[in-house]
Amino acid sequence: MRGPHNIWRLIRTGATFQRTGAMGVVLDAMNAPPALRIAARIIGFPFAWLGKKGDTSLPPVTRAITALGPAYIKFGQILSTRPDVVGADLADQLKYLQDKLPPFPLDVARDMVEDELGIEVDEVFSEFSEPVAAASIAQVHRARLASTGQEVAVKVLRPGILRAFRTDIDAFHFSANMIEWLLPSTRRLRPTDVVEHFEGVVMGELDLRLESASASEFAENTAGDEGFVVPEVNWGLTGRSVMTLGWAEGIPANDLVSIRASGLDMTSLGERVLQLFLSHALRDGLFHGDMHQGNLKFASNGDIVAIDFGIMGRIDEYTRRVYAEILYGFITRDYTRVAEVHFEAGYVPADRDVVEFAQALRAVGEPIADMDATQISMAKLLSYLFEVTEKFGMQTRTELILLQRTMVVVEGVARSLDPRINIWQSARPVVEDYIKSSIGPKAVVRDLTRTLRVLARFGPRLPELAENALIRHSSPLPEPDQARPMRAMAYVSLGGVLALIAVWVSKFL
């Protein structure tokens, strides 16, 4: 499916942007040079008729993206949170993609619920509304359980969404392969791996049972986070294409006018959104991977309510520590340590100069250390950071793609609430707490204890494992039979001692 036939899809993508007028808007937002704009018009104009028309009532870029399909919409949702990158006007247009897409008919949704759950909608729900929100993959209905009177949100996948996504992702794979073939210098960015990662994330979002499991686990992890709410899953009314959650009441995070009128402290909200995200990522290793304004609400008491758990990110403990050290190094301006961490983790080839890399990182970090968001050109910063990674041969880390992408999105949410927020100052308390708990002396003792527990668990097998290792790495001459029992007893004793040490140390943690 990833063959040359996708060339037609790519041509139609460009033609759609040309036909809808989106091409010029995008080039303006990117501050593209005049030569590129002229070339785009000359090349694109003859093919514009091949593009999709889209909804003429929508602004150009939104019109083009909605016409092209769900995968493009997902990308547009990300850009909608970054007015500092794409400009305020374009970001405002793209907010439409978060939860205001055209819904599918109510009767279709009711039929899907009945087929999936094997129920009669009118018997289970005393109320079942028209769609209250519609996004790229699913739409949400507000309903009330007939048995208890509880208000719930019923999420229903769009009909045919799986096939539509497969078609878009197929074209993305072809594009990535062509880019690597035509521009070998881009291979370090691993575009094919990036698309593969995106596919895995999105395909997981198309099974609402998995989303329900993520919501349940996320709720358990964040139960102690004051002022953060995750709606409860109703497992009895959940299946592959239908999910039922407790209703989340609050002001949508993209309704800035209502938030201001409510009297909520928008600066505090912005800081808490950022800090909670970092806390979930570093402390738990499980974070909301689609934390844009359309997936957040603010309750009247200031609680932050998260919804839509189709994309959740996971990072292992080692990667969390590396990420925290890098963040902490930027916060404290210790660029030498930031560079060392990159080398220690293998993010930068070992044959590069660590001192030169630290200098390049300083050029990235220093200009923004004491600035608020209104003084920072994030587009220029990202452009320079890209130059640094290219110069030092850094490859794209697929395990960090979702974390980095979500960090960009969350930063955009925080800045929409307070344009002058200092990201580093807001992040510092969370990162410092994690550093103390995961890299300090207690963490060393905890790591040793875990190691000892693993060794103790394998205590009964230690004699056999050790003997096999010795046989492989020693003389082929056989060992006297009478020596083996004594050696086995020694290994068993060692296992027992390790177990005792593990239990003893654990009492002090």
Planar angle of CA 269, 424, 412, nearest 5 degrees: 50
| 3-state DSSP assignment of residue 67 | helix
Secondary structure of residue 76 in the 3-state scheme: helix
Phi and psi angles of residue 9, each rounded to the nearest 5 degrees, phi first: -65, -40
Q: How many angstroms separate the CA atoms of 332 and 326, rounded?
A: 10
Is residue 285 within 8 A of residue 179, CB to CB? The reply is: no
Phi-psi region of 335 (alpha: psi -120 to 50; beta: other; left: phi over 0): alpha
Asked if 330 contacts 338 with a C-beta cutoff of 8 angstroms, the reply is yes
Contact 378, 407 (CB under 8 A): no
Q: Which residues contact 431 (CB under 8 A, 6 or more apart)?
A: 278, 282, 324, 327, 328, 331
Q: Return the number of other C-beta atoms located less than 10 Å from residue 309's C-beta.
A: 27
If DSSP states are collapsed to H, E and C, what string results for 223-271? CCCCCEECCCECHHHCCCCEEEEECCCCEECCCHHHHHHHCCCHHHHHH
Q: How many CB atoms lie within 10 A of CB 34?
A: 8
List, in order, residues 6 or more apart from 225 with CB less than 8 Å away. Answer: 276, 279
Q: How far apart are CA 196 and CA 75, in angstroms?
A: 15
The C-alpha torsion from 470 through 472 and 473 to 477, rounded to 10°, is 80
Q: Is 147 helix (H, G, I), strand (E, B) or coil?
A: coil
- Is 290 part of the annotated catalytic residue set? yes
Strand arrangement of the beta sheet that strand 125-134 belongs to: 125-134, 138-145, 151-157, 242-246
- The catalytic position among 84, 99, 290, 308 is 290
What count of other Cβ atoms lies within 10 Å of the Cβ of residue 454?
11
Q: Is 292 helix (H, G, I), strand (E, B) or coil?
A: coil
User: What are φ and ψ of residue 132, in 5° steps?
Assistant: -100, -15
H or E element that contains 88: helix 88-94
The helix/strand count (H/E) of the chain reads as 24, 10
Q: 7: how many CB neighbours lie within 10 A of its CB?
A: 13
Active site residues: 290
